[in-house]
Amino acid sequence: MCEHVHDLVIVGGGPAGLSAAIYASRSLLDAVTLEREALGGQVILTSEIDNYPGVPHADGFSLVDAMRTQAEELGATIVMDPVSAIERDPVSGVFHVSGATAAYEAKAVVAALGARPRVAGFKGETDFTGRGVSYCATCDGMFYRNKHVFVIGGGNSAAEEALFLSRLASTVTMVVRKDHLRAQKALLAELEASERVEISYETSLLEVFGDALPHTLRFRDNRSGKTYEETYEEGSFGIFVLVGREPQTELLRGLVELDESGYAVTDERMATSTPGLFVAGDARRKPLRQIVTAVSDGAVAATSAAAYLGLPVEG
């Protein structure tokens, strides 16, 4: 049993968690924010952000650092401590949050756990992430205006993002390892009708080579098993890996309702099926996962937690 029970524990220090920390501080909550590895999550891997209102051409690290500074100046407590479990006492309603270095108790929890993109697994993928390899067309598509882009994937998400990119890029090549797309027929029809989209079926991307940016791609023809390479000028193309995302909701299993893909189900107040437990950011079910929606979720979650605790909230 902990000696001190916080009003709120925020699990996750990405944009949603930092936004929640800011709003918790403004609501005068006794709150602590716990982060596993590095503040910012996936955002700090982004070299340029061009769609966050009022902060054009920011890099992910600088944007997150500004959020952290603002939160701490308002009095937020941020602790680097990976959380291994979240439990709720059914009698008292107090949450027990287990960290690697300490245990925490709170009357309410905001879980801002995020989601990670699934990797395709080709060699060089990690090395060039943020430098030619991207996982979000909406985030990074503008950087490839009038350039050649490769889309890795064959599902609905890949098809939708390929169509989005076709409005920006000179050419979109979908690299599909099977002999068909798993996308809806309507999307397939749009792709086939587009003059800017090419679909390379039964093809796998094996490796990417480059210096500061990638310049050579090695493919395999899955029908013949033969490999071949294509070389381009550095900076003239991009690779979008769109093979799905994985919500990091392992800590919430058994606590809240999860949808068929593992995302937490919340209402518009970020409240889950467990009283006092709120989920913000990419780990919850929603139509758009962007920095701007994450910070909105965090603000709503923290003020909802304050209201749950019977404290005044900003209107």
CA dihedral 180, 183, 187, 192 (to 10 degrees): -10
Ramachandran angles phi, psi of 209, nearest 5°: -115, 155
Q: What does the alpha-carbon distance between residue 201 and residue 196 come to, in Å, rounded to a whole number? A: 16
Amino acid at site 11: V
What six digits make up the tokens of 19? 């936004």
Contact 50, 57 (CB under 8 A): yes
Which amino acids are annotated catalytic? 136, 139-140
Overall size of the chain counted in residues: 315
First-to-last CA distance in the chain? 35
**Tokens matching residue 100:** 């690697």
Would you call 43 helix, strand, or coil by DSSP? Answer: helix
